[in-house]
Amino acid sequence: MLIQSQPLDPKFCEKLGLKEDDEFSDFSEDNIKTQSIGTMFDNISKKSSEQKISLGLRLSWLLNDIKGAFYDMKYSIRNYSKWRKTIRKLRPWEGFDGLISVMITHLQDYVTTEEKYGHSEEKYRNQKIVTAKETIKILERIKEPDEYLSKRREEVESQYPKYKGLVTEYKNGGS
């Protein structure tokens, strides 16, 4: 899609805690900067005996692990149900049609994720979504040969009824 980095949405920056008077307040393409968050790893050089992990920190880690396990189960069930239809339609004799259906499913998932969780500026997010939707339309037209490939052939044959293609016949019977 878009390879370059994109400025963040101002609403998303407010969630991160960046204010307008910060050095990162200019959200133009020319002034995209990185930010290091937190000082968690600044004091690693101290002895480990001086730093003890509190019970509250251990409980918060355990809670995050439990949340992560539920998140993983939820999205594995979601992905199974979403991709089951696509995978069941794959046949070894289809050739590229199976691959095209996988690409369509992946792009549809990308579009819904970008619409729901995208944090780029509005114009960049809309550009990515529109590009993905156009790609989905093109892939669907390519997948259905009756609508895309043979329709164009019928139009050519109706305009040029005497055109039979370029076939060269040789004296020895070959073509």
Identify the CA nearest to 100 among candidates 111, 89, 112. 89
Pair of tokens at residue 98:
């199976």
Q: How many whole angstroms separate alpha carbon 115 and alpha carbon 24?
A: 25
Pair of tokens at residue 95:
């050739």
Per-residue CA distances from 53 to 45, 56, 58, 65 (Å): 16, 8, 7, 17
pTM equals 0.52
Task: Kindly list the domain boundaries of the chain, sorted by start residue.
Answer: 81-161
What pLDDT score does 96 carry?
73
What pLDDT score does 90 carry?
80
CB atoms within 10 A of CB 121: 18
Pair of tokens at residue 74:
């939820």
* AA identity, residue 112: T
For residue range 89-108, list pLDDT tens digits in order. Answer: 787 777 777 788 889 999 99
Sites in the chain below the pLDDT cut of 70: 1-5, 19-51, 145-153, 163-168, 175
What pLDDT score does 37 carry?
58
For residue range 111-125, list pLDDT tens digits in order. Answer: 999 999 888 888 889
| H or E element in which residue 89 lies | helix 55-89
Task: Supply the angle between the helices 122-143 and 96-117 in degrees, to the nearest 10.
Answer: 160
